[in-house]
Structure 1
């Protein structure tokens, strides 16, 4: 039995179930499970660079700490196109419009390549200024700059792989991207020390070597992904004839994708603005904040994965004219995530001190981290609810609604609550802001969803619904 056959027996592929008929919960589970694993592999990229550069020098480790927020911002600025492509592929696939799905995929690849090349070029020329704005010291600034210059030049390769994952997910195949991601992560982990330390025949390149390893492994993954899509044997197929830039179709992609870009960019900016509030306190509080947010990023992986599954389920069922199935899938996801993450929150509440001990030996940091985790832990379930409903909004093409909920939660609720309460009750006010915004964000998402406006999706109708129509929509 081959590797793919073995994995299919565990995860099951898109060919094993129909997203638009039959059971709702089972296909949602099999869509989400590989996404969880893929996200874990994505986390492994950052962990590998952090580990090896930590062995190399403290300044190099500090440099990538400044580099990661900029990478996140650049990716966020371009992510709208991948979201739009995923939504259109899902809706056309659900409607049985294979030709239109292929055209959407081809156009997404083309404009994503153009956008990432532009963002990478702009990022390359403004890297140093941005890093200086973030507060990089004179010792760290040249290292962080050299790292980010390579990343910026290779942004098209990195973003190309994210587009491959999104398009395959829209079709309903989450296993193939997981396998490609696994190979890419292994390659990155293996070549990292050779380029950083100068092992064997390679020169010692330090932090720049880590960047080259990341770009090279992502580039290879993108090439494999494109080969799979051109072949068309494992999901959506793309054709060269569909990749000539169609600026009429670009308007359609931007209409769906721009709000998703705003959402992602808003998240990135709100994280950096919240850091300004945290930085008002001691290094102990800053360290505790860093540990807590890393713990959250791991715990919330299932919520992110299920939200992506809901996005695909909603898109395909909206396309098939079955909004009731989309609503049923969303309801199941919200209930399951609330239960699972609430249970995780209870465990976290009781083990908060032990979790903090894994990351630091400083008793003061352990104490503050424990407080942070316990304030937020019992609201984990509400994150699951919000993610489920915003995922359904995106799948229905209501990306502006999903973005509005995210901005409300992070920018209008969490940031002001953190700012004002921190001035009166200290760092505890920041932890309280997380808990309050989680609950209110979930409530807003649920009430907005119950209004039913997501059912009015119109992404597969009238003009630009077909390649021929799109070609004349200028």
Structure 2
């Protein structure tokens, strides 16, 4: 999963690097769309968390037939929900992007880019639901492999569709979205062929299963989805703060956001692969294994992210020069990289605690932790820093918010796992 996440997020970063070569205005336009793209991802991840938890618990309890019905439901209902969400975001694009701070030039660029970008988001969501089925059944190899395949396909298509070839001038900014659409369609084709031979899907009893599983599904998906939707909301508020600093700062912030998700690849891989394992332990009542898994995951997250963060901070001028399309954006990105990456060690702790909470039967606590991370720590520190010190203050404030959130999540995990029943088991 780590290899798959690295390739998936790597091509998104390279995608932005290609767009940066078109100029600051196209890069800023793409940066304005990132919060809404994260909104779609938040919905799909919330649904995927719930279905992976229910399927893994069903498998842990020996309910194979039920796991098949759940697998079919997530593909059908998930595709429909994401399609309706995408339609709403398409119809409301003008007022939404104006509220985020986009001006007339950016709105024109966004209008051409947003349609194919929404189509690629829908295809990516359906592919993610397929990944959730494989992860729930203990297979992380195929999702990881498909992430690599789709990333390579996108990497090959990006320069062709953005810049063109021969006498064809290319599509510019929309070409980046169309490259992703074609890459995701390749992944969907492979996923469909593999699912056809697994026997993990069912055609009968779906309506009855939907009625039976709706309440437990919403009990997990509701808090999980809210937890996943809060980061896009926070990202919208953050980019509205950054937009007041200038177009160059918006472009740099967009690149930093891409680099953030890439640098968190190990943590993201664990948030995908750890919950199904924890869910099986939960279904079997094996709390000692839960304690061991969480200790190991947190150690890996802190050591890896701290080492990588310090390396990125030291190499900030060279990394920024390689990614940015202008000297001004490169300078602003360097400032952000000096402060943000080392704080991702604490952010990784918070992400793992929230992910574990959804699998271990305390989704409301996980949701509250997500809310506290963003709205009690991250955004207030970021806004105050920007007000006091411009872009350097914003970067320092965001890093401080991540640190406070990680400490709070660690305290929540210790208190939760120290409950009498779980402490005796562990």
Q: Check whether TM > 0.5.
A: yes
Which one has a bigger Cα radius of gyration?
1
Alignment of 1:112-131 (within 5 A): 112-131=78-97
1:175 to 141, 158, 163: 141
Q: Is the 8 A contact 2:44 2:129 kept in 1?
A: no
Structure showing the higher helix proportion among its residues: 2
2:344 paired with 1:404 = no
**Counterpart in 2 of 1:85?**
51
**Counterpart in 2 of 1:238?**
201
**Counterpart in 1 of 2:67?**
101
**Counterpart in 1 of 2:275?**
311
Cα distance in 1 between the residues matched to 2:169 and 2:319: 39
Q: CA deviation at 1:329?
A: 0.3
Q: Is the 8 A contact 1:352 1:373 kept in 2?
A: yes
Q: Is the 8 A contact 2:13 2:255 kept in 1?
A: no
2:310 paired with 1:346 = yes
Using CA pairs under 8 Å that are at least 6 residues apart, name the structure with larger relative contact order, 1 or 2. Answer: 2
Alignment of 1:133-152 (within 5 A): 133-152=99-118
Query: Secondary structure of the residue that 1:246 maps to in structure 2?
Result: helix
**Counterpart in 2 of 1:21?**
none
2:5 to 28, 39, 43: 39
2:260 paired with 1:296 = yes
Cα distance in 2 between the residues matched to 1:172 and 1:101: 13
Q: How many residues align?
A: 420
Q: CA deviation at 1:343?
A: 2.3
Cα distance in 1 between the residues matched to 2:189 and 2:82: 16
Cα distance in 2 between the residues matched to 1:139 and 1:443: 42
* Structure 2 CA distance for partners of 1:111 and 1:321, relative to 1, 3 Å: same
Cα distance in 1 between the residues matched to 2:233 and 2:402: 18
**Counterpart in 2 of 1:15?**
none
* Structure 2 CA distance for partners of 1:324 and 1:369, relative to 1, 3 Å: same
Alignment of 1:54-453 (within 5 A): 60-153=26-119, 155-196=121-162, 199=165, 205-232=171-198, 237-241=200-204, 243-244=206-207, 246-281=210-245, 285-286=249-250, 289-360=253-324, 369-452=333-416
- Deviation per CA, 1:350-407, whole angstroms, max 9, x where unpaired? 4344444444597776666555444445444322322332221122143332221121
Cα distance in 2 between the residues matched to 1:362 and 1:57: 8
Q: Is the 8 A contact 1:111 1:250 kept in 2?
A: no
Q: Is the 8 A contact 2:372 2:405 kept in 1?
A: yes
Cα distance in 2 between the residues matched to 1:248 and 1:130: 37
Q: CA deviation at 1:318?
A: 0.8
What is the TM-score when the length of structure 2 is the normalising length?
Answer: 0.85
RMSD: 3.3
* Structure 2 CA distance for partners of 1:40 and 1:336, relative to 1, 3 Å: closer
More displaced 10-residue stretch of structure 1: 307-316 or 370-379? 370-379
- Deviation per CA, 1:89-139, whole angstroms, max 9, x where unpaired? 222223333222222212211210221121122223223332333333333
More displaced 10-residue stretch of structure 1: 135-144 or 253-262? 135-144
Cα distance in 2 between the residues matched to 1:191 and 1:363: 27
Q: Is the 8 A contact 2:343 2:403 kept in 1?
A: yes
